[in-house]
Amino acid sequence: MSLLVKICGLSTPETLEVALDAGADMVGFVFFPPSPRHVSLETGRDLGRQVKRRALKVALTVDADDATLDNIMDALSPDIFQLHGKESVARLRDIKQRFGRPVMKAVPVASAADLAVLPGYAAVADRILFDARAPKDATRPGGLGEPFDWHLLENLDLELPYMVSGGLHIDNVAEALRVTRAGGVDVSSGIESAPGVKDPELIKAFIRAARATRELSVR
C-alpha cells in the first residue's frame, strides 16, 4: 500500500501548485477563522478548481454546523471532510449521511487514555488522523507544531486506515512512520516559514523525505 502524503493549510495558488507538482496525495484547506491558515469560501472555490483531480481535496473544519458545511460543499466540493473538533460519533454519522462524503476524524493524543475513543469513531469514520493534543489554553486544536509520543501507537490494532500529524517536518517524518507504521502523514506548520506561510522548498523536501521513508521500508 502506497504512503499517503497530505499537505494541509494551503492558501495560495502558488503553494498549492508546488504541492500538486511535488506529488501530494491530499491537499487540505482550513475553514476555521481562528487559524492563520483559514481560507474564505471564495478562495476555497478558486483553489478547488485549481486542483483538477490531481489530488484529493480535504476540507478541515472544527465543530462546524450544517450551514457551514453546506457552504463548503458548494464552494470546494471536497473529496473528504477532516473533522478536527469534538464531533461525536453521532455527528460523524450525520455528516456522512447528509453530505455523502467520507470523513476523517482527528483524534488528539497526549496519553494512552486518549485512544479509548477509537472503537466508536472507527465504526463510522473512513480514516483516523492522530494529532498532538493541544494545550488547554490553545485557540485551535491543531497546526501547533508539536509532536506527540508516537510510541503510543506502536501496538495499535486498528483496521481503519490512519495517518499521523503534529509537529512533523523533514527531519522526523521517517521516525514517525517507522514507529507508528501509519499509512499516511499530514503536515502543515512543519513546511512553513511563518504561521500560515508555506515554504515551497520545504513542501517539496517534505514530500521527498516521506516518500524515501516508505521506499526503504520492508513493509
Q: How far apart are CA 103 and CA 125, in angstroms?
A: 6
Concerning whether 157 is annotated as a catalytic residue, the answer is no
H-helix or E-strand containing 127?
Answer: strand 127-132
In the residue annotation, 63 being an active-site residue is answered as no
> Which residues make Cβ contacts (< 8 Å) with residue 75, sequence separation at least 6?
41, 42, 44, 45, 48
| Residue ranges of E strands in 72-126 | 80-83, 103-109
d(CA 215, CA 166): 22
Among residues 131, 137, 149, 199, which one is catalytic?
131
Q: Rounded to an integer, what distance in angstroms lies between the CA atom of residue 122 and that of residue 89?
A: 9
- 15 with 203: CB under 8 angstroms? yes
Enumerate the active-site residues. 8, 131
